Amino acid sequence: MRSSDDRRNLWEPSSAAGGAAFVLGVTGLLTIASSRYAVVEQPDSLLIKQLLFLVAGIALMFAAAAVPFRFYRKNALLLGGAGVCSLLLLPLLGVSIHGMRGWILCGGLSLQPSELMKAPFVLVLALIMTRSERSECWRFWVGVLWTLVWVVPVAWQPDFGTAAIYFGTFMLLYFAGGGKLRYLALPTLSGAAAAALFVWLHPYAWRRICAFIDPESDPLGSGWHARQFELAIARGHFFGAKLGGALWSNNYLPFSYNDSAFATLLETLGLAGGLLIGAMLILLATSLLRLGASEKLPSGNRMFILGVMLLLVFQSVVHTSVNLCLLPTTGLTMPFVSYGGSSLAGCFILLGMALSAGKETHDHKEDSEKCEN
């Protein structure tokens, strides 16, 4: 039998957050197992690859958590600069997949910098927000500039969904960190103008908006994806069609193992599976909030943990909203669930660095005790 201490350790913020991410990852495997026949050639290859990606992602989480957070703080600009450079190199070295130049081929792997480099973005942004010696105006505008350095190259790919995640994370982190609401008026208007410009430059985006408003206006064209969301989810009922019974995900739902992962999950495991995902996301968010709530943590650590939580939750909410037809269709992965090595690695690195940030106070305490002895 487990001792009371062992049971209590299971509910420690770091253990609970890691456990929630693991359950989400396993649920992703079930989703891919249900939809793998959407890819006719070698249908089991997706499942095998995702299993390997999950194992590698967990290893990356432990590795990132083992590195003292003071190392990340000290090298924040170097890490952030590497992330920006990887995005700027995409027009030259990147390859186009499904009309988006967002990947770099490395051996047999296709790496997506916008997914892999989310941690450096949040790291530098958190440190900017906690520069207490600077004015509120300085922190806000430097944060805006740092965000634009990432948003513009990502939107240029074009990947409006991921660009919106970066921009939304900045807005949420600034406000949650005590920022003034009036400062957000201009970025909000600018973001709306940028979205309008993106739609004007990319007609497919306007067609998706029209399909969101009235899916029946073009059921076999721009409204196809949204209609398949509805039909796949409707087949799931409460307990789902079970593994191997996801008819719509295997035959009609576009990118059922990636951009449509939540709809595939609902067809496979039903409302019960959707509630499980929701419970794990809530556990992950609350665990990270508890982890960063300690007053003994440096402000930069607490802000980084908060930023990680906001990015993961915000992206999850956008993905599920698209799959539930509450937002226009956009290509965006579900953290820890959707197929993709870059997506999984980026999420687990984020979580690992957050765990490192949360334990730094304990490391300092141990160091001081050693010095006293």
pLDDT for position 350: 96
How far is 128 from 141, CA to CA, in rounded Å?
10
Q: Which domain holds residue 145?
A: 9-179+224-359
- Kindly report whether the peptide bond that precedes residue 298 is cis, defined as omega within 30 degrees of 0: no
Highest mean pLDDT among 14-18, 238-242, 330-334: 14-18
- Which of 140, 170, 167 has the alpha carbon at shortest distance from 151? 167
Helix H or strand E segment including 231: helix 224-236
Supply the pTM of this predicted model: 0.88
Cβ proximity of 258 and 339 under 8 Å: yes
pLDDT for position 245: 67
Residue 192 lies in a domain: no
Residue 195 lies in a domain: no
Helix (H, G, I), strand (E, B) or coil at 324: coil
Query: Buried b / exposed e across 276-297, counting CB within 10 Å, b at 16+?
Result: ebeebbebbbebbebbbebeeb
| Strand positions, DSSP E, 245-336 | none
Cβ proximity of 25 and 337 under 8 Å: yes
Residue 293 lies in a domain: yes
Q: How many domains does the chain have?
A: 1
pLDDT for position 367: 44
- Give, in order, the Cα–Cα distances in Å from 110 to each of 101, 102, 104, 154, 296: 11, 9, 6, 16, 41
What pLDDT, in 10s, does the model give residues 147-181?
Answer: 999 999 998 888 888 999 999 999 999 988 887 88
**pLDDT mean across residues, the chain:** 84
pLDDT for position 197: 79
How sure is the predictor about 282, in pLDDT bands with cuts at 50, 70 and 90? very high
Between 3-12, 43-52, 206-215, 298-307, the lowest mean confidence (pLDDT) is in 3-12
Residue 188 lies in a domain: no
What pLDDT, in 10s, does the model give residues 81-91?
Answer: 999 999 998 88
CA 55 to chain centre: 18
Per-residue pLDDT, averaged over 238-262, amounts to: 77
pLDDT for position 8: 47
Q: Is 349 a residue whose pLDDT tops 80? A: yes
Residue 287 lies in a domain: yes
pLDDT for position 363: 47
- Give, in order, the Cα–Cα distances in Å from 11 to each of 142, 285, 303, 360: 38, 13, 22, 19
Residue 199 lies in a domain: no
Q: Is 361 a residue whose pLDDT tops 80? A: no
Instruction: Identify any residues that bridge with 109 across adjacent strands, giving them in sequence order.
Output: 106
pLDDT for position 2: 44
Residue 174 lies in a domain: yes
pLDDT for position 137: 85
Residue 85 lies in a domain: yes
For 188, the token pair is: 């909000």
pLDDT for position 7: 45
- Kindly report whether the peptide bond that precedes residue 203 is cis, defined as omega within 30 degrees of 0: no
pLDDT for position 176: 87
How sure is the predictor about 252, in pLDDT bands with cuts at 50, 70 and 90? confident
Cβ proximity of 15 and 290 under 8 Å: no
